[in-house]
Structures are given as C-alpha cells and as structure tokens.
C-alpha cells in the first residue's frame, strides 16, 4: 500500500476495473491510498473526508511527494506515580491523586471515572500505530463513541477492574479477562510504558500465548484467579494506577491496536454460509458488526444471518453499495430484536460518522 495523488481534474471513480462510474468525480491533487492494480486500473481510498473507495485509471495517479513536516509537540507526561511519600487518598466520596486532585468517585465498594479523552480527540493530535490500516482506525474510532474514554476506570462491578476504550476487564470471579491480554500487548510492544505504569508496583500478566485474548493479572507473584484475590483491585490505589495508565501515550496506542485486533475475531466467521467479510465490505458495515461484537460477542454472526434471511439474500456476489445498504438496514433492525444495549442509538452514532465523512459506507471501502 502506498499513497498517491490524483493528477487530473474530474477523475472518474468506478466500482471495479473499467466498471460503472460512481459519482462524483475526484479533484486534481486529492491524496489517495493505492492498493492493488489490475490491467491499468488501481483500487484507491481517498485520504480526505468524505472517504470514498473504488477503482481509477492508473495513468492518472502519481506517487505522493514527501514533504517536510514540523516535529510534533512534546507529549504531556502521565500524572505523577504514587509512592509511600505521595499516596492516593479518599475524601468526601472522591479518590484523590497524590498531588491533591479528585479523579474518581466512590461507588458500591469501588470507584469509577468516565475519563475525559475520546479516541477521536487523541487521534486529532497523535498518529495511530504505523502497523494499523487506516480502515481499522476509522472503524474503531467510529464505535468508540459507543464505548469508553481512554482513561475510564470502573472498579465496582463484578469484574473488579474495567478500563479504557472498550472497558476491558480482568474477568468476574475466577474467570480470565481481556484486560490482562491488553497489558500483555503493552508489555511486549511498549515495555518501558508497562514498567512505568504497572511493573513498578509488582503487577504482571499471565496469558496462554502471545496471541491469547484473555488471561490473568499477577500481583507480586500471585495469580489473581479468584474473587478474593481480585478484590484488592477495587481499592483507590489501583483505580488511580489504571487511570494514570490511561493517560500514557503508549497505553493509548496499545488500546487502539488491541481494539482493532478484535476485527479478526469475526471477519472470517460465516453467516448464511458466507464469511462476514464478504457480506460487509464497507467501513460502516464492519463497524456495525464490531459494535455488536463488543457489546454482545455471542450474537455475532447470528444476528447478521437473521438479517440476511430477512432480505432473502443468497450471496453477495457482484453486490454494489446499494445492496449492502439494504443489508445494513436489515441488520440494524435485527440487532434491535436482541438484548443488545441501545442497538439503534449505537447504530445512529456510527451513521453520524458516515455523515461527518470520517467513515465510509461505500462497498469495498474497508481495507485491511
């Protein structure tokens, strides 16, 4: 994948090599991502909102010219770490940072804070990890409006500790959870950040493998695999440590990468005998399925299969954007028939991203 520039005014976008024209045409100088080429045609995705995808004649593209850009501003450090001389305290129903600021509220024997920083807000000033495809970033950003903020913490419910973008937990009672797998990814990829946020306090992780999506936290050599052992995570000090970690640049990048990793869990799953990735090839369609997977993972791809049955589809061969839009409508209604939390409101927020030009509803726009 490389970036390029449209070299003529009014370049026609098509739904396939030498296929049907998809208006409106593209402006000269528009930046694009270039993917595979076939017989003089190149599949592209525009870099500027509204995001559009399709095929154009290769002769009217040129490689993007690299230009010097100013160095980004220095990243703000996370809040100060706690230590015996700078403890976390509780006063008046609030958890207080070592430097005297309230950061969370007492609730049901634990603490919670919704956080302040959205993924979209963070991405506005920080590049995503280079390994992530732009489509994956756009999809995660769209559904993050339905989930948590980057430094959100909840230590009062039956999973003892939930944090961040997708509210990853350490699991109820003796169950494994996704939070340890998230921290394992941080430890592998950004070890200095892991040490700064967790290692210094004797916290480690145990997962079955590097690709495992669940695991256990380990504190001072003891595996937190029972309710009694996890109970200590409800305290103000651990609420602060996880809240503080949510401010760390590398932890935020890790959250985004780990969230995007969920796409692999359902794209190849089959609905009505066909892989999900073939039914939905738009960023909007994939975002809707990821949204359901995050909220009710056991429902995917059954809800999609119900929608396929509703519209009487036998397969997506030669589908156009309008065909997929019809399935999206049926799928949103099928989600409403389940016990998914606020399925219509969640779908409307994803549609808002399409209307704002930060997510594409064009068939073929999801590229990973």
96 and 244 share a domain? yes
270 and 172 share a domain? no
Length of the chain (residues): 368
207 and 325 share a domain? no
User: What are the φ/ψ torsions at residue 291 (nearest 5 degrees)?
Assistant: -60, -45
307 and 177 share a domain? no
277 and 222 share a domain? no
172 and 297 share a domain? no
167 and 35 share a domain? no
316 and 200 share a domain? no
* Residues 358, 138 contacting (CB under 8 angstroms): yes
Q: Which of 45, 63, 81 is the last residue of a domain?
A: 63
* Residues 269, 275 contacting (CB under 8 angstroms): yes
- Could you tell me which of 184, 186, 148 has the C-alpha nearest to residue 168? 148
Would you place residue 325 in the very low, low, confident or very high pLDDT band (cuts 50, 70, 90)? very high
105 and 243 share a domain? yes
Average pLDDT over residues 53-72: 71
Parent domain of 96: 89-115+150-261
Per-residue pLDDT of 72-117, as tens digits, reads 455 678 999 999 999 999 999 999 999 999 999 999 999 999 999 9
In a domain, 187, yes or no: yes
CATH number at residue 34: 2.30.30.40
pTM score over 0.95:
no
In a domain, 219, yes or no: yes
Looking at every residue in the chain, the average pLDDT score rounds to 92
In a domain, 11, yes or no: yes
8 and 47 share a domain? yes
pLDDT at 67: 47
pLDDT at 30: 86
Helix axes 283-295, 343-355, angle to 10 degrees: 150
96 and 237 share a domain? yes
What is the domain count for the chain? 3
11 and 108 share a domain? no
């Amino acid at each position: 994948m490389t970036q390029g520039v449209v070299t003529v005014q009014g370049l026609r976008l098509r739904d396939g090599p030498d296929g049907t024209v998809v208006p409106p045409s593209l402006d000269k100088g528009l930046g694009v991502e270039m993917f595979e080429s076939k017989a003089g045609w190149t599949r592209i995705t525009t870099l500027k909102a509204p995001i559009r995808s399709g095929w154009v004649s290769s002769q009217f593209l040129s490689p993007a010219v690299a230009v010097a850009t100013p160095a980004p501003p220095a990243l703000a450090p996370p809040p100060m770490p706690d230590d015996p001389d700078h403890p976390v305290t509780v006063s008046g129903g609030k958890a207080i940072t070592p430097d005297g600021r309230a950061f969370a509220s007492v609730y049901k024997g634990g603490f919670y804070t919704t956080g302040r920083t959205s993924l979209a807000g963070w991405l506005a000033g920080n590049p995503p990890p280079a390994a992530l495809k732009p489509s994956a970033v756009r999809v995660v950003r769209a559904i993050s409006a339905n989930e948590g903020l980057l430094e959100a913490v909840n230590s009062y419910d039956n999973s003892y500790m939930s944090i961040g973008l997708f509210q990853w937990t350490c699991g109820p009672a003796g169950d494994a959870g996704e939070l340890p797998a998230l921290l394992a990814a941080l430890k592998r990829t950004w070890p200095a950040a892991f040490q700064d946020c967790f290692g210094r306090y004797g916290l480690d992780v145990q997962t079955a493998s590097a690709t495992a999506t669940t695991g256990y936290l380990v504190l001072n050599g003891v595996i937190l695999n029972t309710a009694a052992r996890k109970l200590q995570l409800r305290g103000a000090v651990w609420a602060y440590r996880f809240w503080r970690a949510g401010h760390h640049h590398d932890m935020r990048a890790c959250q985004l990468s780990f969230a995007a990793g969920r796409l692999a869990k359902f794209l190849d799953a089959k609905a009505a005998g066909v892989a999900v990735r073939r039914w939905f090839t738009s960023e909007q369609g994939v975002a809707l399925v990821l949204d359901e997977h995050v909220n009710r993972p056991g429902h995917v791809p059954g809800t999609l299969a119900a929608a396929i049955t509703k519209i009487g589809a036998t397969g997506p061969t030669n589908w156009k954007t309008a065909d997929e839009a019809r399935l999206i409508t049926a799928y949103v209604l099928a989600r409403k028939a389940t016990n998914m939390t606020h399925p219509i409101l969640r779908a409307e927020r994803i549609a808002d991203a399409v209307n704002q030009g930060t997510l594409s509803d064009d068939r073929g726009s999801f590229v990973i």
